[in-house]
Structure 1
Amino acid sequence: MLFQGSAVALVTPFTKENKVNYDKLEELVEFHIKNNTDAIVVCGTTGEASTLDDKEHVAAIKCVIDAVNKRIPVIAGTGGNDTDHSIMLSRIAENFGADGLLIINPYYNKGNKSGIKAHFTKIAQSVEIPIILYNVPSRTGVNLSPKLVAELAYGVENIVGIKEASGDMAQVAEIARLVDNNFSIYSGNDDSTLPLLSLGGAGVISVLANICPRESHDLVYSFLSGNVEKSRELQLNMKPLIDALFVEVNPVPIKTAMNLLGMEVGNLRLPLSHMEASNINLLKQELKNFGFDLK
């Protein structure tokens, strides 16, 4: 198992000049290790990877790997809709020392079943480190079917898990039915971590963990240790805040929240931009309700 618990889907901080803020990235790594985050995903959706050029992308991955220094697993987002480009990024991340890769389902050109299967297989066979599939049909326009997930799980040795962000618990249950215990299922939605754990999940790749790392860790480990009631309490208590963090497209609200809390992660890159005023007010209120002090 690559990791168990809560992996933060780390934001990419920017300077006032809209450059990657590597000093802040190192600071965020220390914050997460201090606050019980179990793994770090760098250059995923929340990290605005689609707006990073290749030089920034690989530099951000190396920065996080070096800052973590093997204290917790680092999973690099190296997927895309160009198989050869994904292979290039994946090999670089492996050479830097990444513990695993997060590979998204191809978007825009989508791919048919045979193409998608070949895409994941070819990337996985180009490296030796473990790969987590990333199914997020709301972003990609294509859903990874449970049958295809199982074919990849049994057919490709280093495809070891999936980040399931379809929001469909029946689909999660079918994946869990079809794969064996060596294949890890992670929630890609903070609002359904507990339901996924109840189906045999191993944890969450979390947006919320950017500001609630301890709570995200505790939610998973309370369940895994048998304290379902505490896990349920955490899930329900955090739901209003989670809802506010997804009132607009991710990562707009989470970066806004981090800035409101004084974490100074900078602006977003276009085509993402600032939140609507009414949504900022909602986010501020839920942060206060959860006990945060705004700066």
Structure 2
Amino acid sequence: MMELLQNAKFIGTGVALITPFKKDLTVDTEALKALVNHCIEGGVEYIVALGTTAEAVTLNTEEKLLVRKIIVEETSNRVPLIVGVGGNNTGELVHQLKGDKLDGFDAVLSVSPYYNKPTQEGIYQHFVALADVSEKPIILYNVPSRTGSDMTAETIIRLAKAHSNIIGIKEAGGDMAKVEELIQKVPKGFLVISGDDLTALATVQKGGAGVISVLGQGIPDLFSLMIRYGLKGNAEEATEINSSITSMIHLIFKEGNPAGIKSLLELKNIGSSLVRLPLVESSFDLKSEIKTALARLKKKHNRLRSAEEELN
């Protein structure tokens, strides 16, 4: 029962933060602080640091520690925190998790090993090895479009049943039949979380725990309201918001993540649109499309503000 209560802190909207950069491509700590507050004030339930959207693979060790420090300090225990710790070298990750207490964080988000293309048994043994040594509970992350391999429902369910330190799955494969199977077959309290903004509401409406979102940090008020509506069964209101943000979801991923979401946040004066190579920032045309879409969403937000007050 205690584990179920602990896992409940990750129900709702989590956001996978970008890492803002200055013109010289160093970490913009002031923009990162502003982003943390923007998300919390917008109503998100928790924050994820150093995931894919954070361009973590282009950050060195010192930069990762700096990002962690800023997020922990600025959050100041207002919402739970998850940190990305993943890769394709199991031994190195085991060593890292043994030596780092991850102070200030409540859980680890760990992506399925990429590039190596392990078998399902290899994926299973990889996560068991991490769960055995991690002081923090682990949320699995399946994103086959990036990793080159897909964690099957069978493997996820097997891990959910095998190890109490594995508490959830961020599923970003876009397969709703698989999501439904997971929701039906995982142990009670195991979190099935959408890792795809387009399927976030559908996942919640099928019984999932919520979402770890990219767009959610750009429009935390609307996105978190939509997920709260979905969790409460307010289908009409949730669907209305979902319909209004679908075009923006497509736009921010049109030229890759996190280029699109950084362009949106730049419009809100939170950091710049700069990304590190091999990524490049959004084109002028895309930035213009995002600006137009954001203006439409501002009107939508003003109209829904009174509805949010009624929900609370």
Question: Scaled by the length of structure 1, what TM-score is found?
Answer: 0.94
Structure 1 Cα separation of the partners of residues 78 and 216 of structure 2: 18
SS at match of 1:60: helix
Consecutive aligned runs of 4 or more in structure 1 exceeding 4 Å deviation: none
Moved more, 70-79 or 27-36: 27-36
Structure 1 Cα separation of the partners of residues 206 and 30 of structure 2: 39
Structure 1 Cα separation of the partners of residues 96 and 29 of structure 2: 19
- Cross-structure match for 1:124: 131
CA shift for structure 1 position 72: 0.7
- Cross-structure match for 1:213: 220
**1:190 partner amino acid:** D
CA distance 1:256–1:91, shift in 2 (3 Å): farther
- Cross-structure match for 1:150: 157
Matched, 1:269 2:276: yes
- Cross-structure match for 1:86: 93
**1:169 partner amino acid:** M
CA shift for structure 1 position 189: 1.0
**1:213 partner amino acid:** P
Moved more, 225-234 or 99-108: 225-234
- Cross-structure match for 1:190: 197
Structure 2 Cα separation of the partners of residues 83 and 62 of structure 1: 25
CA shift for structure 1 position 236: 1.0
Identity across the alignment (%): 37
* Structure-to-structure mapping, 1:70-81, within 5 angstroms: 70-81=77-88
Moved more, 199-208 or 15-24: 15-24
CA shift for structure 1 position 218: 0.8
* Structure-to-structure mapping, 1:239-278, within 5 angstroms: 239-278=246-285
Matched, 1:111 2:121: no
**1:47 partner amino acid:** A
Structure 2 Cα separation of the partners of residues 265 and 3 of structure 1: 29
CA distance 1:139–1:146, shift in 2 (3 Å): same
SS at match of 1:101: strand
**1:191 partner amino acid:** L
CA distance 1:290–1:248, shift in 2 (3 Å): same
Whether the 8 Å contact between 1:147 and 1:178 is mirrored in structure 2 is no
Structure 2 Cα separation of the partners of residues 237 and 264 of structure 1: 25
Picking from 17, 21, 26, the partner of 1:19 is: 26
Q: Which has the higher helix share?
A: 2
- Unmatched tracts of structure 2, length 5 or more: 1-6, 300-312
Number of residues of Structure 1 aligned to a counterpart in Structure 2: 292
- Cross-structure match for 1:34: 41
CA shift for structure 1 position 151: 0.6
- Cross-structure match for 1:54: 61
CA shift for structure 1 position 65: 1.6
Moved more, 148-157 or 253-262: 253-262
Moved more, 58-67 or 120-129: 58-67
**2:259 partner amino acid:** V
Structure 1 Cα separation of the partners of residues 231 and 36 of structure 2: 25
Structure 1 Cα separation of the partners of residues 67 and 167 of structure 2: 24
- Cross-structure match for 1:283: 290
**2:39 partner amino acid:** H
**2:212 partner amino acid:** I
- Cross-structure match for 1:4: 11
Whether the 8 Å contact between 1:6 and 1:217 is mirrored in structure 2 is yes
Structure 1 Cα separation of the partners of residues 92 and 132 of structure 2: 14
CA shift for structure 1 position 115: 1.5
CA distance 1:206–1:242, shift in 2 (3 Å): same
Whether the 8 Å contact between 1:58 and 1:93 is mirrored in structure 2 is no
Question: Scaled by the length of structure 2, what TM-score is found?
Answer: 0.89
Matched, 1:232 2:239: yes
Superposed CA RMSD in Å reads 1.6
CA shift for structure 1 position 283: 2.1
